[in-house]
């Protein structure tokens, strides 16, 4: 199962299992909804685990609608089909998996690469969720030592350089 955000092209989840039922679909959606926002709707095919009554009730209870593509109309779900083609070509076809756990790890690593490093033409050759680096916070006692040192020596402080 793959979950793609149609707006920013971010792959929210890939669930690698041998078989999946509606409860496992709900678990995957709930995990994603905890870390991302609640979607207005979910577009999907008409698989039995997706059209199950329990899933439809859970989605309506969470305030999320469901849109089903017409059978035999894959162009209605183009982003997801395009993503699955890239996953197959760039990851799955080049691997031989000896266990389900190995497949899960390889696919998750590829998903992270897809979201953080792979450029997307539709996003101006930027990844959907690039990694960002936050500046390392300086402890207060170290900051006051740096101020004292700068006042007395007149030296300039550069990031990454220790004055101690």
CATH number (domain holding residue 82): 3.30.420.10
Query: What is the model's pLDDT at position 164?
Result: 39
pTM across the whole model: 0.69
Q: What is the pLDDT of residues 74-126, one digit of tens each?
A: 777 777 888 888 899 999 998 899 999 999 999 999 999 888 887 776 667 67
Pair 64, 139 in one domain: no
Pair 158, 99 in one domain: no
Rounded to 10°, the helix 53-62/22-35 angle is 20
Pair 62, 27 in one domain: yes
Pair 114, 148 in one domain: no
Three-state DSSP state, 39: coil
């Amino acid at each position: 199962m793959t979950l793609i955000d149609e707006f920013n092209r971010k792959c929210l989840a890939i669930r690698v299992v041998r078989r999946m039922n509606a409860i496992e679909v709900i678990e995957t959606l709930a995990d994603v909804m905890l870390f991302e926002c609640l979607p207005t709707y979910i577009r999907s095919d008409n698989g039995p685990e997706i059209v199950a009554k329990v899933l439809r009730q859970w989605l309506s209870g969470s305030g999320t609608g469901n849109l089903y593509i017409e059978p035999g109309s894959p162009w209605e779900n183009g982003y997801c089909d395009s993503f699955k083609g890239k996953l197959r070509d760039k990851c799955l076809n080049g691997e031989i998996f000896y266990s389900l756990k190995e497949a899960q790890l390889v696919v998750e690593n590829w998903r992270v690469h897809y979201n953080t490093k792979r450029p997307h033409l539709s996003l101006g050759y930027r990844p959907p969720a690039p990694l960002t680096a936050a500046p390392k916070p300086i402890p207060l006692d170290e900051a006051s030592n740096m101020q004292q040192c700068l006042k007395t020596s007149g030296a300039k402080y550069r990031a990454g350089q220790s004055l101690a």
